[in-house]
Amino acid sequence: MVIKRLFVTVLLAVLAACSKQLIVTDTPLGQVQGYIENGSRTYLGIPYAQPPVGDLRWKPPQPAVPWPGPLDATGLADSCPQFAPPFNIMMGEEDCLYLNIWTPEQKPRSPMPVMVWIHGGGFTAGKASYTARDGQRLAAQIGSVVVAMNYRLGVFGFLADRQLSAEDSAHPTSGNYGIEDQAAALRWVRDNIAAFGGDPGNVTIFGQSAGGVSVCAQLASPGSAGLFHRAVIQSGPCDTPLSSLQAVSVLGDRLAAALGCDKADDRLQCLRDKPAKQLAKVLPPDPSFAFGEGFTVWWPVLDGVVIPMQFREAYASGRFNRVPVINGATLDEGSLIIWLSHNFLFKPLQADQYIDRLEYLVGSRGTAELVAAQYPLANYADPFEALTEAFSDGFFNCQTRTISTALARHVPLWAYQFDYREAPFFIPGAELKAFHSAEIQYIFGNPMSVTMSSFEGEQAELERVMMGYWSRFAARGDPNREGLPVWPRFSPDDKTLLFDSRITVAANVHRSDCKFWDRIDYKRAAYQ
C-alpha cells in the first residue's frame, strides 16, 4: 500500500511538472485564464464580439459583453461555418467571433508591438489558428504580441441583400460583415491589448490571400482609420474589381427563393430562422477557389459605406488609411490552386484543356487566345507549368505590382517576392515550387510538414530573415535592421526584395509581363 501511494504521488508530481502553467490576466472585460508554454503566454478563444446568431445574424458585430469570473482561454474556439478544403466538409459554428493571443513569457518593461493576423481562405474557409501553437514561436522569438481572429465567412459574412441594406438607415449596407468583424477585432485590440503587454498605438495588420485582400479592405475603409499603424499584404489580389452592392444583392434574392422565404411575410426573419447548415448548403462556394464553375463567389462588396471605392482608386487618389506597407506575392502563386482543381482530384491538366481554363479565368475566348499566345504551351514542360505562370502573373504578381505602385505614391512601401521553391507542403511529392501561402510558414516558424517540427539549414536562415523583417517593420515601420540585407523602398527605383536561398534585390520585377496584362481587358467583378 505504501509503495502504491508513493507511486501515485510521484506520478502526480510528474504530471504536474509536465502540465502547462496557468496564468490569469485582468482585462477591461474581466479576467482571462491562459497558460505558459514554449516561452510564450497563450490565450485562446477570447470573444471580441457578441455571437452573431439569431437576430444578430447579418448585422454588424456588436461589442463583447463583460464576463463573470475568469474566462477559460486555454482551448481553441470553433471556426466560423464553412466547407473546409480540400475535402469540402461542412464544419464550424455561427458563434465564432473569437481571437487568440500569444505574448513572450517574460514581459518587457515597455509595451510591445502588436501584430494582428488575418487568415486567408477565399473568404469561404479558414480560421484564426489551426493549433494552439500557431503564434507561439513568432511571439516568443520577436518579442511582440501576436493576435489572430476568426471572422464570418461565405453566406454569413458576405451576403448582400436589398432588405438587409434597408434595415438600418444609420448603416445602409450589407455584404461586408466579415470585413466589419475584422474592424471589431481591431477595436477590441485597441481597448484591451495593453492588459497583455501590447501597445495599442503600434498595431500591424498582416494577412495572406483573402487575408491580404482584407488588409487592402481595412486600408480603404474609413471606419478602420486609426485602428492600425502598419500593414502587410501577402498574396492579396487587391486589383480584382469589387462588385457593387446593387449587383451582388442578387444573392439575397437567390437565397430567399431557394429557402422559400421570398413569399414570407417577414423575409429577413424567415432567413434568420433557418439553421446555419441549411443556409450554407444553398449557395456553396468554389471548393478549388478558382475553377469551380457553378459555385458562388463570396467576396467583399463595393458598398459605399464600409468600402466606398475600388481599392486601386482609393490608393491612387490617396483616400485611404495611410500607413507604411509591405506588399508582395510568391513566384508560383497559381500552382496550389491549379493542383487543387486538377492533380489533387487525379485529373492532371491536359493540353486540350489549357485554352478552356484560360477562358474561364479571363472571361472570353478572344482574350484567352491572347494569353495563350503570350504563354504558349510549347515554351513549358507541361500545361500545368504554363497555366501556373499565366495565372500567377495575371492574377497575383501583376496585381501586386499595380497596387504597390499606387500605394507607394503616398506611403513608404517595401515590395517582395517569395521565390524559394523548396518550401515543404503537407502532401509530399506535390512539387508546387513557390506556391500560394508558402511564405507563411517562415514568418510564423511553423513548417507545413507532417514530419518536420522546425526548420534547419538554409530554411532556418530564411525563417530568421523573414521573421526579422516582419518584426522590425511591426516595431518601427521600416523592415530594415542590423544583420539583414538592406531592403530598399519600392519607389522611386522599382526595387523588390527576393526571398530565396539567397536574399537579393531586383529592379523591374515582372514589369514586361505586366505590360501585357495591362493591355488586355480581363479583370472583372464577380457580379456585374
Catalytic residue check, 333: yes
| CA 140, 145, 150, 151 torsion-angle sign | negative
Q: Which long-range contacts (CB under 8 A, 24 or more apart) does 405-411 make?
A: 405/490, 405/491, 406/312, 406/315, 406/316, 407/315, 407/325, 407/327, 408/489, 408/490, 408/491, 409/316, 409/318, 409/491, 410/315, 410/318, 410/320, 410/322, 411/322, 411/323, 411/324, 411/325
Catalytic residue check, 436: yes
> How far, in Å, CA of 247 to CA of 303, rounded?
10
Catalytic residue check, 209: yes
Active-site residue, selected from the candidate residues 174, 209, 288, 392: 209
Cell 437567390 -> residue: 254
> How far, in Å, CA of 76 to CA of 132, rounded?
7
Helix pair angle (383-392, 334-341), 10° resolution: 130
Residue 447 preceded by cis peptide, ω within 30: no
Active-site residue, selected from the candidate residues 224, 436, 439, 510: 436
Q: How many residues does the chain have?
A: 528
Best CA proximity match to 415, nearest among 238, 232, 241: 232
Best CA proximity match to 342, nearest among 334, 514, 222: 334
Active-site residue, selected from the candidate residues 94, 333, 389, 463: 333
Task: Evaluate whether 133 touches 446 at the Cβ level (below 8 Å).
Answer: yes
| Active-site amino acid positions | 209, 333, 436
